[in-house]
Amino acid sequence: MAGPLEGVRVIDLTSMLSGPVATMMLGDQGADVIKVEPPTGDLVRHMGRGGGDMLNPAFLSCNRSKRSLCLDLKTEKHKEILRKLIKTADVFVQNFRPGAIERMGFGYEDVREIRPDIVYLSISGFGETGPYANKRVYDPVIQALCGLADVQKDRDTGRPRMVRTVIPDKTTALTAAQTITAALFARERTGKGQHVKLSMLDTMIAYLWPEGMAGLVMVGKEDKGSAGAQLSQDLIYKTADGYITCGAVSDSEWQGLCNVLEKPGWLTDERFATAGARVRNAPERLSLTAEILGTRPSSYWLKRLDEEDVPSAPVLKRHEMLDHEQILTNGILQEFEHDGLGQVRQARPAARFAETPAEIRRPAPQLGQHNEEILAELG
């Protein structure tokens, strides 16, 4: 069935994660995404556990729903092919370091001459100016610079810590996909394309600001010690036989948790009597809660927490998630046959459109798999 972006053609010159994940989402939503790769291919093809013929799980999951066109843009012949392709495109996405795409002859002004109403997205690490503009960037560098590593710091030692998944890359991807659709909507109304610039650093500071940087909002009254208490705490508790998470934000949830823990006195304890007090005294509250939860098995606590309507869940290992009742009921994970790889599993697109469904439209392509097909379309 046609997706919401059916009829939109996206030229994808991105590599690694932030750009490819963004364009993958557009492909799932029905756009014709053409991934233009050099003869060596996207570096991610060569990373991780191999699946044969330069496909691996990471590449598979970042580049599904796309076609691959292999071009050597150091040659004029292949540049001319890309120019012909741009004439047919609605969106052009690139994540080279600032200045590189202009030297190749495909900066915004160059592309706009070919397709005046193009939506052109440039993704960078740090933006196009400033002392970091031309630095190489990977996800941990952004985690360090934006304050995320400080948010994650160890409460006892103060040592900053990285999140063990590429949050800046994937948050930039989500922002990029939303940005592209917003620019397409504006073009639909005005007839004009535009150049949109998006940096990972900008994205992550904006992402953290609503609560992670609460202590920096009031000018002249900055909390330089902790930048304010985060609304989200480390709520993983060891039970007698495993790990669970549970948390109480509202007064009614706190009352329920106190009932579960058999601590009615905490309801009037000035350290915990209000939501604000519970945030300010989080370390002590979490430590006391942990002592009690360690005395009984997970199944006991989860049953009691449900009875008192306190948000809770078991802490699953990654492979255990595959068989959890809620994941199975939602049909989040899909399996299909891949030529050369056998049975593979992917998470379906998260947004569920009633009239124009998003879906996994094709597996990630082999390098240059669609050259003949795309060149034939161009004549």
In this structure, whether the domain defined by 9-207+349-377 belongs to CATH 1.10.3470.10 is answered with no
Classify domain 236-321 by CATH architecture: 2-Layer Sandwich (3.30)
Domain regions of the chain by residue span = 9-207+349-377, 236-321
Residue by residue, pLDDT tens for the chain (379 residues) are 799 999 999 999 999 999 999 999 999 999 999 999 999 999 999 886 544 455 789 999 999 999 999 999 999 999 999 999 999 999 999 999 999 999 999 999 999 999 999 999 999 999 999 999 999 999 999 999 999 999 999 878 989 999 999 999 999 999 999 999 999 999 999 999 999 999 999 999 999 999 888 888 889 988 876 544 455 567 899 999 999 999 999 999 999 999 999 999 999 999 999 998 998 898 899 999 999 999 999 999 999 999 999 999 999 999 999 999 999 999 999 999 988 788 999 999 999 999 999 999 999 999 999 999 999 999 9
Say which of 156, 169, 202, 306 is annotated catalytic: 169
What token pair was written down for 215?
């202590």
* Whether 119 contacts 92, CB under 8 Å: yes
* pTM of the complete model: 0.93
Is 169 marked active-site? yes
Q: Looking at the DSSP assignment, which residues form a beta bridge with residue 37?
A: 70
How is 289-353 classified by DSSP, letter by letter?
Answer: HHHHHTTS-HHHHHHHHHHTT--EEE---HHHHTT-HHHHHHT-EEEEEETTTEEEEEEPPSS--
Which residue, 378, 379, 367, is CA-closest to 68? Answer: 367
Residue 34 exposed, middle or buried by CB count within 10 Å (0-12, 13-18, 19+) = buried
Which residue, 226, 246, 223, 252, is CA-closest to 234? Answer: 246
What token pair was written down for 320?
């255990």
Q: Report H helices in 121-166.
A: 139-146, 148-151
Pairing of strands 91-94, 66-70: unpaired
Which residue, 10, 8, 13, is CA-closest to 79? Answer: 13
Domains 9-207+349-377 and 236-321 agree in fold: no
